[in-house]
Amino acid sequence: MTVLAFDIGGTRIKAGLVAHGRVLTSVTASTDDSGQAANVHAQLVSLGRAVAEDKEISAIGISVRGIVDPIARAVVDVNPPLRCLIGEPLAALLETDFGAPARIENDARAHALGELRHGAARGATELVCITIGTGIGVAVASSGEIVRGPRGMWGILGGHFTVVVDGPDCSCGNRGCLEALIGARGIVADAAGRLRAGETSVLSLDELEPASVFAAAAGGDAVARACVDRFVDVLGSGVVSLVHAYDPDLVVVGGGVSASADQFLPRLREYVSLRAWTYPKGRVRIEVSELGHAAALVGVAEFAATESLPRSDRARDAGTTSSDR
């Protein structure tokens, strides 16, 4: 089965053809920032046609930030700049555009399913997957299945766990969230604050981004190294909270920063092993994503290729409100 998969992020949109757990071809573009759903839809159609060409598509998978209802097949709530997509029938529109059934899912859950079926979490049953990029996405699997809960909220707001009670404001309206501190803006803000305080560094205020911070740290820059150390402490605190909340056997870290895992993974493992209350001590493994930027495309293709909805969706569709998967 060949699936046309989309991954809609706050800064970039990816489109790809996926078959048997592999991305055959893909394109990436900056997300339209006009605030008009029609423009985002048009962009999806253009990118989809660019990768699909004349190939036969069996299904369409749409991965997107925010709270997603896979039964209503729409985004229920999402922070800017994608608020224009709330309530938009993207799945139905793309079905008409490409003539194939479409499914929409939260991007962190798509990422987690990709790793669970074809990546670093193959063979795992109890999983937490955390993706770190513009924002921070979290998804949870139990008994080998992605979990949602009665209102579709289980796991996905893990990036908004408070780790510093008087920390910086977050886009969610809270303060001191994991995302506010070590999402892309948080990493940049930490580095910028150190530079404005007069610390000497190869970093420049005009060209700050997470990749440049990690690159400078790898080169021995003291300011960048301090930023990475801070990143590890905050991430470690968040991962410990996720371990305490969901009791996984495995935590997979993905997103853009995973390319710099050699700089933080050993220390993150040490931090979590020392501080997470598990039995036996140090039981939880931490690995980096194997699929990288392709994880959400692969995962949402898996969702789209599934003929029946997961158990939680079937139960919720029937009106069940108990805490099932």
Q: Which two tokens stand for residue 309?
A: 């909805």
CATH topology identical between 3-110+301-317 and 122-289: yes
Q: What is the pLDDT of residue 311?
A: 42
- Domain 122-289: give its CATH architecture: 2-Layer Sandwich (3.30)
Report the CATH superfamily, name and number, of domain 3-110+301-317. ATPase, nucleotide binding domain (3.30.420.40)
User: For residue 318, is pLDDT > 60?
Assistant: no
Q: What are the tens digits of pLDDT across the range 78-101?
A: 988 899 999 999 999 999 999 999
The pLDDT, as a whole number, for residue 11 is 87
From the list 81, 147, 161, 135, the residue with the least C-alpha distance to 109 is: 147
Q: Per residue in 70-104, is it b (16+ CB within 10 Å) or e — as a string? A: beebbbeebeebbebbeebbbbebbbebbebbbbb
**H or E stretch including 315?**
helix 311-317
CB atoms within 10 A of CB 10: 19
pLDDT > 50? residue 323 = no
Beta carbons within 8 Å of 241's beta carbon, 6+ residues apart: 158, 161, 163
Mean pLDDT for the stretch of residues 110-138: 96
* % residues pLDDT > 70 (the chain): 94
Domain boundaries, the chain: 3-110+301-317, 122-289
Q: Does pLDDT of 307 surpass 90?
A: no
Query: What's the whole-model pTM score?
Result: 0.90
**DSSP E strand stretches across 89-229:** 102-106, 127-132, 136-142, 145-146
- What pLDDT is recorded for position 152? 83
Q: Is the pLDDT of residue 314 over 60?
A: no
**Contacts for 207 with CB less than 8 Å, ≥ 6 apart:** none
The pLDDT score that the predictor gives to residue 149 is 87
Average pLDDT for 57-80: 91
**Mean of pLDDT values over 120-128:** 97
pLDDT at 321: 29
150-202 confidence digits (pLDDT tens): 888 899 999 999 999 999 999 889 999 999 999 999 999 999 999 999 999 99
Question: Which two tokens mark 142?
Answer: 């139990």
Continuous segment of H or E residues that includes residue 118: helix 107-118
Residue with tokens 């569709």: 317
Structure tokens at 242: 């996720």
